[in-house]
Amino acid sequence: MRLRSVATLALLAMLAACGRGDDGHEPTADDSVISAEEAADVPLAPDGDAPAAAPDMEARLDALAGVRVGMTVAQLRAAGFQVEKDDGPDPDNRCGYARIAQLRAPFFMLDGERVVRIDVDRPGFPTLGGVEIGMSETEAQRRLGKRATVRRNLVAGERSHLFVVHEAGAPHGLIVETDGARVVSYRLGEWAAVDSSAECL
């Protein structure tokens, strides 16, 4: 009995040691260190006990939340989406917008009846690398990595940046806009529409 008690105490001591935060690892240049502000942007797993799954690093640049760039309003409705179309004040203007009741936040830019660009300015719709609205600029740039070219957003102010994801000649692209501190919007879709900051008049 005494030997069993000693073994039990030894086992408990080992388990306690495993629960300690100090594993004896000395920090190296390869370790990833982020600030508390950036850590707040990393999503938790649903139960809060384990890291979240890796973000989708290969999110499409021509689709979001089940809507594909190139779909028509009729195709959206046939797919079960409740679509409200706004052609603006000029009936001859081919540029318009659609809102989808089930999604609420994104705006879908139309060329006639066809979706050409998707605009997002509210959280809940992550794009490439898991980047989404409200994420710190530093974390967004880290996640996009070398795929993004950084530009000054002279229209919005000198502190604002644009993270541009587009390969020469590719039909689709992504532009993420920040206010110098956090992601405030992004747009994806056909490159000609994405590369223009203009909205329908």
Task: Output the 3-class SS for 39-107.
Answer: HCCCCECCCCCCECCCCCCCCCCCEECCEECCCEHHHHHHCCCCEEEECCCCCCCCEEEEEECCCCCCE
CA distance linking residue 137 with residue 131, whole number of Å: 10
Query: Residue 154: its pLDDT value, please?
Result: 72
Each residue's pLDDT, cut to its tens digit, for the chain (201 residues) gives 444 444 444 434 443 434 433 333 343 333 333 333 433 443 333 333 333 334 444 578 999 999 999 999 999 999 999 999 887 666 677 889 999 999 988 999 999 999 999 999 999 999 999 999 999 999 999 999 999 999 988 766 678 899 999 999 999 999 999 999 999 999 999 999 999 888 775
pTM, two decimal places: 0.69
Query: What does residue 130 show for φ and ψ, rounded to 5 degrees?
Result: 80, 10
Tokens of 192: 């000609």
CA distance linking residue 193 with residue 176, whole number of Å: 14
Per-residue pLDDT of 161-198, as tens digits, reads 999 999 999 999 999 999 999 999 999 999 999 998 88
Transcribe 102-163 into DSSP letters: TT-S-EEEEETTEEEEEEE-SSS---GGG--TT-BHHHHHHHHGGG-EEEE-TTT-TT-EEE
Q: Alpha-carbon torsion 197, 166, 55, 110, what sign?
A: positive
